Amino acid sequence: MATHISSNSPRSHPHRNHRPLPPPLRIPRCFATGRLLLDERTISPRAILIEYLPDAKTLRDVEPSVVDLALAQSLVQTARAFADLGVVHTDLNLGNILFVPGTRPTRAIIIDFAESGVREDEDDEEWLRIVTFNYDAVWLKKQLSRTLGIDLSFIDVTYWRDYQSGASEEITMSWRIRTPTLLHQCLGDYRTEV
């Protein structure tokens, strides 16, 4: 079963908790994760290095006319890539999609992987079931279309199309090398730019 990152315990289905961020909106950007190694401490606590994005606007708050089609398309493609990378976000909501700068976005950022899951020892059939149940790209595509009024019907969000027709070894390589720490380094700050 996929590991639930915030508790590091198995999880069978997502729990979505949609709480708005309190004003003023100050959204952190993750640069790295790891362990804090201090000579005077016997314990090495986990640490994250973040930057606040005070000029970001959420999908809920951004003016639809300032988000262009290429940026919306890159967001859907990013969410579609999660499953191939062994991740399900499970908590994509209007507050977890950021546009920077908020007045004329050139970047889109997906945040808050606290409720996400990481593929562990699931076989392909079980992983397909998990991804289908939580499929982030389908939800994101619908929300972007509704919220921004952009037609995204041309974007294919079929999961594992290449795999189903005979994937290359590169796509089906071992999933066990991906850990939550590596996930946050790779995806915690995964963003798209135009």
Q: What angle do CA 31, 37, 38 make, to 5 degrees?
A: 125
157 assigned to some structural domain = yes
Tally of domains in the chain? 1
Residue 156 is assigned to a structural domain of this protein: yes
What one-letter code names the amino acid at 120? Answer: E
Residue 17 in domain: no
Query: Which of 6-15, 59-68, 172-181 comes out lowest in average pLDDT?
Result: 172-181
Does some domain include residue 20? no
- Give the least confident one: 6-15, 25-34, 39-48: 6-15
* Interval 102-157: pLDDT, tens: 889 998 988 888 888 888 888 888 888 888 888 788 888 989 999 999 888 888 77
Report if residue 129 sits inside a domain.
Answer: yes
**Is residue 15, in this structure, part of any structural domain at all?**
no
**Which is higher by pLDDT, 72 or 6?**
72
CATH number of residue 83's parent domain: 1.10.510
Instruction: Give the domain range for residue 66.
Output: 3-10+25-193
Distance CA 112, CA 187 (A): 10
Q: How far apart are CA 114 and CA 89, in angstroms?
A: 8
pLDDT bucket at 34, cuts 50 / 70 / 90: confident
Burial, 112: exposed, middle or buried (Cβ in 10 Å; 0-12, 13-18, 19+)? middle
Inside any domain, residue 19: no
Q: Is residue 113 part of a domain?
A: yes
pTM, rounded to two decimals: 0.61
User: Which pLDDT does position 130 carry in this prediction?
Assistant: 85
